Amino acid sequence: MTHACIRNVENTDIPWAEKQRIKNELFGTERVAVEVFPAQSELVDEANMYHIWLLPADMKLPFSLQ
């Protein structure tokens, strides 16, 4: 898996569509990425930084939105 962090210069929230665009431009439109919402005990919230984990190019999740 590949781990990527996304944030902007203003340190503000990033809309979902913008995160999707960044993922597509950097890693490809057909790569699947996951954003994790951790247990409260594992939370690190020092900046508006978003972490995504990209699955290998040939791997798909066992579920989908469709």
Tell me the one-letter amino acid at 34. Answer: V
Q: What is the DSSP letter of 63?
A: -
**How remote is the C-alpha of 19 from its chain's centroid?**
7
Q: What is the DSSP letter of 55?
A: P
What average pLDDT score do residues 25-38 get? 94
Contact 52, 6 (CB under 8 A): yes
Q: Which two tokens stand for residue 4?
A: 């990527």
* pLDDT value at 20 more than 90: yes
* Every domain of the chain and the residues it spans: 2-54
Q: Tokens 């930084």 sit at which residue?
A: 49
pTM over 0.85: no
For residue 48, the model assigns a pLDDT of 82
Q: Tokens 């290998």 sit at which residue?
A: 56
